[in-house]
Amino acid sequence: MTKDDGTPSALCLGRDLMLAGSRLRDAVGRRAQREFGLTALQSDMLLLLAVHGSMISTELAAACGVNASTVTHAVDAGIERGLMRRDRNEADRRLVDIVLTPAGKRMAERVRALVADLARAALEGVDQPAVLAESLAQVTRNLEKD
């Protein structure tokens, strides 16, 4: 669907954004599983923890768009593989931080390279990737207001 002036409708753009995000996440999940034995969620969590240093389960769940019990299972698997650990939160002893181990930091770098490789392939034929990147960042900021 397009408007009278030929631009795509908001519905089409929204659908295309959701589809592109889903396809990229699926591609990351397939390659991460094949190359590293990680799920898409575990890959996402590694990247988030590499950026933030530590997060509590509810923060990880919100950032990944899943519920806390799903994150708990993924963290347990990460701990079993020696990629993550749970530490008491220094500011609030009732909370438990999820942090990367040295092996988890190395794996996060491998996942980051995988995502960059897939993003480069996904951007083939895109005239102005920097404009697209800024536009998508703005979309993300707009959606975070909700």
134 belongs to a structural domain: no
| pLDDT of amino acid 30 | 95
**Strand ranges for the chain from DSSP E:** 54-56, 84-88, 96-100
Angle at 111 between CA 108 and CA 115, to 5 degrees: 135
DSSP, res 7: P
98-109: per-residue pLDDT in tens?
A: 999 999 999 999
| pLDDT of amino acid 105 | 98
Residue 2, pLDDT > 60, answer no
Higher pLDDT, 4 or 95: 95
Residue 4 pLDDT grade (very low, low, confident, very high; cuts 50, 70, 90): low
21-74: per-residue pLDDT in tens?
A: 889 989 999 999 999 999 999 999 999 999 999 999 999 999 999 999 999 999
25 belongs to a structural domain: yes
Query: Which residues span the domain enclosing 65?
Result: 10-122
140 belongs to a structural domain: no
76 belongs to a structural domain: yes
Distances in whole angstroms, Cα of residue 132 to Cα of each of 103, 115, 123, 129, 139: 33, 17, 9, 5, 10
CATH code for position 72: 1.10.10.10
5 belongs to a structural domain: no
Residue 9 pLDDT grade (very low, low, confident, very high; cuts 50, 70, 90): confident
Quote the number of domains for the chain.
1
Residue 6, pLDDT > 90, answer no
| Cα–Cα dist 60/71, whole Å | 7
130 belongs to a structural domain: no
Tell me what the mean pLDDT of segment 117-145 comes to: 88
81-94: per-residue pLDDT in tens?
A: 999 999 998 888 88
